[in-house]
């Protein structure tokens, strides 16, 4: 009943591959088309942006929309704020999460399993539940409308600890034991052995963390009160509300400012990205 001639089996395999590639292509188009439409809209006039039927490309291209969008609001300041917050959160998160992950992965201590399960349990708590307590704590510390109020809450995450811990468990303990025999301290083992071997996972987590911090809207919304401390997502929200100007091409140009740094970060770390994702969940 289950027998297939070799020719029929080859046809079935090819058809299956065609279906897989078709689904991947459609998924890629579904994610790429909105980005391309955003960029193309940023190069249109206001009239062409609302033309019916829609115009894919407006001629001549309105290249002046990008410097105009940069100039109608202090986007240089917003860009700087987002860069400081994203880099600070990413650097601090990699350091603290990797330390905690190293402890959970390589140091057996009493109650380790229960502590780790409790840590994972915090992933089930939505941010909206802790938003008000976080705001009150930052207010008590006088950190509202400051860089420390934007950076410190994101310096550690249960997901980051879990992700790095799963990867570090794949590192053979023999490497660590050999280093201890040679007289290496635990900090030297962490810095000279574990971190270099965990580079793919660290790069992957860096992309995730940078992307999350760069695009975060709700967190800065409850911390920032002044225009000078706004990040790019808050600036785009203000721009869409007509605080600076009401123009969809200029709004799309401003949104493009948000996307470009994320693309650069991903292109720089893509060589580690797939490897980190694949190996990060090998061990339970």
Burial class (CB in 10 A: 0-12, 13-18, 19+), 29: exposed
Token digits for 171?
A: 């590192």
Q: What is the pTM of this model?
A: 0.81
Confidence label for 283 from pLDDT (cuts 50, 70 and 90) = very low
Q: Rounded mean pLDDT of 106-110?
A: 90
Q: Cα–Cα distance between 127 and 282 in angstroms, integer?
A: 28
Q: Give the C-alpha separation, 41 to 118, whole Å.
A: 47
The DSSP result for 155-192, as a single string, is S--HHHHHHHHHHHTTS-HHHHHHHHHTT--HHHHIII
Q: What percent of the chain has pLDDT over 90?
A: 38
| Separation between Cα atoms, residue 212 and residue 217, nearest integer Å | 9
CATH architecture designation of domain 65-279: Orthogonal Bundle (1.10)
What does the pLDDT read at residue 3?
52
């Amino acid at each position: 009943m289950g027998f297939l001639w070799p020719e029929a089996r080859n046809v079935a395999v090819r058809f299956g591959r065609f279906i897989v590639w078709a689904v991947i292509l459609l998924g890629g188009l579904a994610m790429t088309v909105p980005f391309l439409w955003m960029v193309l809209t940023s190069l249109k006039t206001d009239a062409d942006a609302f033309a019916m039927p829609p115009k894919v490309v407006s001629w001549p291209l309105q290249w002046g929309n990008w410097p105009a969008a940069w100039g109608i609001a202090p986007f240089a300041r917003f860009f700087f704020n987002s860069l400081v917050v994203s880099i600070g959160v990413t650097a601090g998160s990699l350091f603290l999460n990797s330390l905690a992950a190293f402890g959970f992965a390589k140091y057996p201590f009493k109650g380790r399993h229960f502590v780790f399960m409790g840590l994972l349990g915090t992933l089930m708590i939505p941010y909206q539940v802790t938003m008000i307590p976080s705001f009150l704590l930052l207010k008590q510390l006088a950190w509202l409308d400051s860089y420390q109020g934007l950076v410190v809450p994101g310096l550690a995450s249960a997901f980051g600890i879990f992700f790095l811990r799963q990867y570090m468990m794949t590192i053979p303990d023999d490497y660590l034991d050999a280093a201890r025999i040679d007289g290496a301290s635990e900090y030297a083992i962490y810095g000279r052995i574990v971190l270099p071997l965990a580079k793919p996972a660290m790069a992957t987590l860096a992309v995730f963390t940078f992307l999350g911090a760069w695009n975060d809207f709700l967190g800065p919304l409850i911390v920032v009160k002044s225009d000078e401390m706004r990040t790019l997502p808050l600036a785009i929200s203000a721009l869409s509300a007509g605080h600076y100007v009401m123009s969809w091409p200029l709004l799309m140009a401003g949104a493009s400012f948000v996307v470009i740094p994320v693309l650069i970060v991903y292109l720089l770390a893509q060589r580690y990205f797939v490897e980190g994702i694949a190996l990060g969940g090998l061990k339970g």
